């Protein structure tokens, strides 16, 4: 469990840091405009959902990863709203920007990605769905197979007795 938590923290921080660096250096936006902050948060949440926990390339994980990506996009936008609205901590990162945490891509995107990756990694059990042992569903009655065999035997005896009576009548 601790290993998963640490892995989620590292994976989220690295992914969020890479996305923040892509915004700052690739797009040249050291400070977010509001629309760009929410768009980046949606992309960060979706990518975190695809890569954290059971990743999309694992066997039988496509649907799960897609659901996590959709939920991550919504949670990412909501988390960006919360960070921009209530986390009014001013940061000065020098040439990488200065402003509140919600205005800085290198501060807000790693927060969102780390929180999501931590949740997804802790939620992941480590087992793939294909390796789970499949068992039959138990019947409502504990000894249904023995009762059905007794009923079959009783029916066969009754049919044999009926045929014997028919044979003696003729």
Confidence band of 144 (pLDDT split at 50, 70, 90): low
Whether the per-residue pLDDT at 141 is higher than 80: the answer is no
Under DSSP, the state recorded for 56 is T
Looking at the chain, the whole-number percentage of residues with pLDDT higher than 70 is: 87
Question: For the chain, what is the radius of gyration of the CA atoms?
Answer: 30
- In the chain, DSSP assigns E strands to 90-92, 98-100
Each residue's pLDDT tens digit, 53-101: 888 888 888 888 899 999 999 999 999 999 999 988 888 888 888 788 8
Each residue's pLDDT tens digit, 27-51: 888 888 889 999 999 999 999 999 9
Domain range summary for the chain, segments of one domain joined by + = 2-131, 139-170
């Amino acid at each position: 469990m601790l290993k998963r938590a640490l892995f989620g923290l590292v994976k989220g921080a690295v992914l969020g840091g890479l996305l923040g660096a892509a915004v700052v250096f690739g797009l040249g936006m050291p400070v977010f405009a509001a629309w760009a902050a929410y768009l980046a948060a949606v992309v960060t949440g979706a990518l975190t959902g695809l890569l954290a926990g059971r990743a999309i390339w694992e066997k039988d994980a496509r649907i799960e990863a897609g659901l996590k990506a959709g939920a991550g996009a919504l949670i990412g936008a909501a988390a960006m709203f919360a960070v921009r609205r209530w986390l009014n901590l001013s940061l000065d990162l020098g040439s990488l920007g200065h402003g509140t945490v919600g205005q800085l891509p290198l501060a807000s995107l790693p927060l969102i990605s780390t929180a999501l990756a931590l949740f997804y990694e802790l939620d992941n059990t480590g087992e793939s769905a294909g390796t789970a042992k499949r068992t039959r569903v138990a019947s409502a009655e504990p000894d249904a197979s023995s009762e059905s065999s007794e009923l079959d035997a009783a029916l066969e005896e009754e049919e044999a007795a009926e045929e014997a009576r028919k044979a003696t009548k003729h």
